[in-house]
Structure 1
């Protein structure tokens, strides 16, 4: 593949089912040759299973990759990066949840998250450029906590304003800015997988 070939976009959803009006689904439909990590039919809460599913998709791609993760998918990427060394051009990490703080009712408890391998959350510098897109009123994470994660990962923080969890439940379907941020990450050479300072 030519060094100037556009990167393959890999969509990493959270723990949700397939949602047609989610911005990740819309983005995948609009980007040629985008790949999506399919929702697991069993063991969905297993961090190890989620990491394996992501790695299987990435292992099937020969050229540069830009990862686009949302919610728990961001945590999947962070755990994947700790275990694997495949070069990544960059990652858009949208509205990561704060797994270190109890989530609202109806979401996994800290005990369940720990038992399934999500805790502790990796806090080392990611071996690829990242953009953390954070909401100021996300019910799953305080903005300042997400800013701390971005600093720990060596990623650039983008303040999205009050967009909830950036999903249909918070009134957000299409997210045009995602394409802008993906294009920005895609201009970074795939060789730029050197660790960045925190």
Structure 2
């Protein structure tokens, strides 16, 4: 699999320059799926954009999603007829869009799709993520059929977590690429 066949799916407000997704993009040449509106994300728009990018590709991609990007993967997989375009997915720190304080800002993202994903997936969760409890992440992983990786106390697994290019996460991605 070529490096360009890894698609990065940032969450709400995109991933800044020190986020592991941005570092992976710079270091490995992975492709970020650019959304039309990072500040006011609409589920239908984001699903359509992911579908568009996947259909333009010559072979299946591996997805590396963070936060709202994880919720996007589940939403897209629940409605797309082209799920064969995804080989596997790394789902990192899903944002719980059903929590009241988040639901008010991201109203089109609830309820969260809970169908099993039709491709292998690994969900990485932190025990002190301010946007999704570890228990809730485990519930989502079970619904999606994802293997859970417990990252311990790593916050929202973003630039503020101090992970840098996050070699442990990249190793998980490499394992998915090899499937």
TM over 0.5: yes
- Which of 57, 65, 83 is 1:69 aligned to? 65
CA contact (8 A) 1:6 1:64 kept: no
Quote the residue 1:79 is aligned against.
75
Q: What is the 5 A alignment of 1:151-166?
A: 151-166=142-157
Asked if 1:53 is matched to 2:44, the reply is: no
Q: Structure 2: how far apart are the matches of 1:163 and 1:184?
A: 21
Gaps of 5+ in 2: none
- Report the CA distance between 1:42 and its aligned residue: 7.0
**CA deviation vs aligned residue, 1:55-112 (integer Å, no higher than 9, x gap):** 1211111112100000001011111101113211100000001122234xxxx4x244
Is 1:128 the equivalent of 2:119? yes
Q: Which has the larger radius of gyration?
A: 1
Aligned counterpart, 1:19: 16
Q: Is the 8 A contact 1:44 1:50 kept in 2?
A: no
Which consecutive residues of structure 1, in runs of 5 or more, have no partner in the other structure? 189-198
Query: What's the RMSD between the two structures over aligned residues?
Result: 1.8
Per-residue CA distance 1:131-171 (angstroms, 9 max, x = gap): 00000100011101100110110010000110000112343
Q: Is the 8 A contact 1:91 1:131 kept in 2?
A: yes
SS in 1 for 2:18: coil
CA distance in 2, matches of 1:58, 1:40: 16
What is the aligned length? 176
